[in-house]
Amino acid sequence: MKKTQLQRILAAGLSAVLLLTAPMEADAAVWGSTTKAAAFPAYDMGNAFQGPAANITPGEPLTDVTEEEARAFERSLSAQTLETGTEQTDFEKKAKQKAQSLVSLYKGNSVQYAIMQNGKLLFSDAVGIDDPKKKSKVTTDSVYCVASISKMFTTTAVMQLVEEGKIDLDAPVTAYVPEFTMADARYKDITVRMLLNHSSGILGGELNSALLYGDSDTSYHDNLLEKLAGEHLKADPGAYSVYCNDGFILAEIVVEHVSGKTFTEYLQENVFDPLNLTSTRTAVQVTDKDPVAGAYVTKKSEKLPIEYFNGIGTGGIYSNAEDLCRFGMTFTKNNGKLLSKDSVSATMVQEGRKGQWCEEYSGMLDYGLGWDSVDTYPFADYGITAVEKGGDSLNYHGELVVLPEQDLSVAVLSSGLSSAHDALLAQYLAKELLKEQGTITEEKINAVASKYTVEKQSVPDELKTYEGYYTSMGAGYQIKLTGSGLTMTAVGQPDSKVKFTYSGDGLFVYAGGIQALKFMTQNGTKYVMLGAYNSLPGIGTSHSYTYFGQKTASKKLTKSVKQAWQKRDDKVYLIVSEKYSSAYYEMASVAMGVDMDMCQPGYFYHDRIKDANNAVEFIDIPMQMSRDARNFTFNKDADGAEYLTSGKMRWICEDDIKKLSAVSSFNVKLNAKTGEAKWRKITKKTAGKTMSVKLPKNKGCTVAVYDKDGKLKLNSYVSGKTSVKLPKDGYVVFAGDKGASFAVKIK
């Protein structure tokens, strides 16, 4: 059956995962090279959560902006545009040019940055718009969600308690949280260290109803132990490191149990106050009186309510670049206020390498305790130690880079971009300062590779065994080898074929040298590695090298099982489990889809089909590409309606959604026990008419309306409006507290 673009976009949702570090391309589709479309964006918790290489599309650069365009833009910046009212050095002017490029050329909302050395703030600045309607600008006092950079605050709290003798990093978590249990006996072997270096084996984290607008609901944290009690592990504890958000919320709970304080209380007393971080707070402390930087969809749209990241230990800290720099100084040679030198050094041990099997390459994710990398490109190539941590929520992004021996801390925060953009600006700032100070030379900078070399050679016969399907949580591809290279094609998308040329030493290089693939075998399993140079012209180049996929053999299904899955082909499922304040109603990220043409035979995207109703995770890949694994189950309720479930998340099949009543007045009441959202289809009888809704008193709720392409037409929770003209073939969702009743009028 020929699939529509809507169906393919919806199907892509099931390949998406909740990934919370630096994205390579925030707006790219998750599966293969499908282009982003208006049709119901996939429920992927925001592509901005994709980690290094998780959202790279083979053969595609980070941006289509050219070096010539970037230089022309910088030349076009007038002195007035860059005016700050204070005298600036050439370095400060260049920094502001780069930041302005991110806002104007790369279409960000705002950027804030700071650089500190030897305990002194060298400079800080901010560019961009805070509120499009008021035309107000962000300032250096504006506060951003630092997202996964929050993990370093959690690491700091744990290490403080280690110094006090209250926590042993290598003791089991159960020693501090006795009620922690899982449906997998191996959980008893999970240590506190494993939570911080991502090697616990915990599936990852769905963060359902955790990213909310104007709502600091802590239920995800409060219910985490219950959630984990029903889960199995994806790997033996300590086997290898793969990014895990739930692990850091569990570490947060460890701190609370040991200290006898809430995590917010602990951080305020032991981190924020000692460093005088007056602009830093947790999600439960943030209010609408705080100068939270504006988030908005376009520069002409309304400023959104505050986005609350309600998982403090993994992503729920808010700060500004100056405060973040001060915190970063904790990890330099002249620290001393929060942690001992031994504790600081312990965070920078290459913990992640213990479970990574590939060869050493520049740009790898070398996890420390909390850090994404303790051997960061390009500084490692200069012979300089640098550690970094990136972070992304739906709307906010950031990067913290610390050079311990240079006593240097750099922080960049943004709205509407990605931490990949922020990381390149942070890298630029640190590199330019070191160049000014004579620590590195232009010659040394130019000596560091910025692309792969293509030297066409014949493919050795022994590499032919690597032909086949490769799967990860981010993508599924089929690889075929030729005499001089290979072709890589996204599953179910023959037009996505990309060619790589064999260049010797096992390396297959894409034209222009921006990407390269390499194969390896470990413990009998074959993997494809991906190296990528990602450039932002005018700012800099990053390099990543990571596991990209695991070779998987096609699986033959029984006739009955195959038929069961084919019956779901082309079906759309709509979320019923997200809280009414969820940011995904506003983003229209409410749909999941099934497209079996985009699945390897015997698989449901990144899961292996087990039976007629279940698909289970199976991937064993270190670093990023097996993170936030999940199992999927299809089941029916007492009325025969089919639901798709994954952990605590639930979607209803479009076939089982009732039609929106055409009578002039009626009520829609949510289930008093489950509180699940109710969806309605807009038919010919109601399309074009005006729907007005009286919201229930003393109940939190929203009514949202989408057109047939998934474009949001109304979200009463965000806009305050309760009336809308109903679009043809669209959908209405009623979401709210348990038992909420909506009075609806149609005319």
Residues 101 and 409: their CA atoms lie apart, in Å, by 22
The mean pLDDT value for 61-90 works out to 77
For residues 669-673, give the mean pLDDT: 94
Rounded-to-integer distance, Cα 610 and Cα 605, Å: 13
**Cα 356 from Cα 159, distance rounded (Å):** 24
Put simply, whether the predicted model's pTM sits higher than 0.75 gets the answer yes
Among residues 533, 390, 422, 395, the alpha carbon closest in space to that of 99 is found at 422
Note the pLDDT of residue 41.
Answer: 47
Which residue has tokens 């035979």? 601
pLDDT of 227-279, one tens digit each? 999 999 999 999 999 999 999 999 999 999 999 999 999 999 999 999 999 99
Checking if the pLDDT of 336 tops 90, the result is no
CA pair distance 15, 159, nearest whole angstrom:
36
Note the pLDDT of residue 334: 73
| Mean pLDDT calculated for residue range 155-166 | 98
> Which tokens in the block code for residue 575?
């979320």
**CB neighbourhood size of 531 (10 A):** 23
Q: Quote the percentage of the chain above a pLDDT of 90.
A: 76
For 470, the token pair is 């490769």
| pLDDT at residue 9 is higher than 90 | no
**Residue 89: its pLDDT value, please?**
87
The answer, yes or no, to whether residue 115 has pLDDT greater than 60, is: yes
pLDDT of amino acid 55: 52
Angle between helices 150-163 and 245-259 (to 10 degrees): 40
Banded pLDDT at 82 (limits 50, 70, 90): low
Confidence band, pLDDT 50/70/90 cuts, at residue 19:
very low
Instruction: Read off the pLDDT of residues 496-514 as tens digits, 9 standing for 90 and up.
Output: 899 999 999 999 999 989 9
What pLDDT does residue 650 have?
A: 94
Report the C-alpha gap between 477 and 487 in whole angstroms: 10
Judge whether 531 and 519 are in contact, CB under 8 Å. no
**Run of H or E including 669:** strand 665-669
pLDDT for the residue 674: 93
User: Which domains does the chain carry?
Assistant: 1-54+450-632 (no CATH), 144-447 (3.40.710.10), 657-746 (2.60.120.380)
pLDDT band at 301 (very low <50, low <70, confident <90, very high): confident
Q: What Å distances lie between residue 710 and 43, 297, 701, 704, 716, CA to CA?
A: 12, 15, 20, 11, 16
Tell which wins on pLDDT, 326 or 589.
326
DSSP 49: G
Residues contacting 369, CB < 8 A, separation 6+? 155, 159, 193, 196, 197, 346, 347, 348, 349, 351
Q: How far apart are CA 747 and CA 689, in angstroms?
A: 6
Asked if the model's pLDDT at residue 480 lies above 90, the reply is: yes
Give the total residue count for the chain: 747
Q: Other C-beta atoms within 10 Å of 63: how many?
A: 18
State pLDDT tens for residues 136-155: 999 999 999 999 999 999 99
* R_g (Cα) of the chain, nearest Å: 25
Rounded mean pLDDT, 81-97: 79
Interacting residues of 355 by C-beta distance below 8 A, sequence separation 6+: 199, 238, 239, 240, 241, 622
Strands (E), 492-623: 498-502, 507-510, 515-522, 525-536, 540-552, 572-575, 591-593, 603-604, 607-609, 614-616
Report the C-alpha gap between 511 and 499 in whole angstroms: 8
**For residue range 389-401, what is the model confidence (pLDDT) as tens digits?**
999 999 999 999 9
- Please give the pLDDT value at position 61: 77
Q: What are 444-479's pLDDT values in tens digits?
A: 999 998 899 988 999 999 999 999 999 988 779 999
Mean pLDDT of the chain: 89
pLDDT grade, residue 370 (50/70/90)?
A: very high
Confidence of residue 86 (pLDDT cuts 50, 70, 90): low
Measured CA to CA, the distance from residue 30 to residue 41 in angstroms comes to: 11
Nearest partner of 390 among 143, 151, 102, judged by Cα: 151
What average pLDDT does this structure show over 312-339?
Answer: 94
Long-range contacts of 159-167 (CB under 8 A, 24+ apart): 159/339, 159/343, 159/346, 159/347, 159/369, 160/270, 160/338, 160/339, 160/343, 161/255, 161/258, 161/259, 162/343, 163/339, 163/340, 163/343, 166/258, 166/259, 167/192, 167/254, 167/258
- pLDDT, residue 354, reads 81
Question: Taking a C-beta distance cutoff of 8 angstroms, is the pair 679, 258 a contact?
Answer: no
pLDDT at 424 over 60: yes
| DSSP state at residue 107 | -
Predicted pLDDT at 84 = 58
Please give the average per-residue pLDDT across 306-327, as a whole number. 97
**How far apart are the C-alpha atoms of 384 and 344, rounded to whole Å?**
17
Q: Does a cis peptide bond (omega within 30 degrees of 0) precede residue 378?
A: yes
Query: What CA–CA distances, in Å, run from 345 to 144, 333, 528?
Result: 28, 9, 33
| Residue 211 CB partners (closer than 8 Å, separation 6+) | 45, 46, 307, 308, 309, 310, 393, 394, 582, 583, 584
Query: 30 or 340: which carries more pLDDT confidence?
Result: 340
Q: Confidence class of residue 704 from pLDDT cuts 50, 70 and 90?
A: very high
For 85-152, where are the E strands, in sequence order?
110-117, 120-131, 136-137, 144-145
**Main-chain dihedrals φ then ψ at residue 326, nearest 5 degrees:** -60, -40
The candidate with the shortest Cα–Cα distance to 633, out of 615, 606, 617, 648, is 615
pLDDT number for residue 26: 27
317 vs 149: CA distance, rounded Å: 8
pLDDT score of 711 more than 50: yes
Q: Tell whether the torsion through CA atoms of 372, 378, 382 and 386 is positive or negative.
A: negative
State the pLDDT confidence band at 81, using cuts at 50, 70 and 90: low
Higher-confidence residue: 37 or 680?
Answer: 680
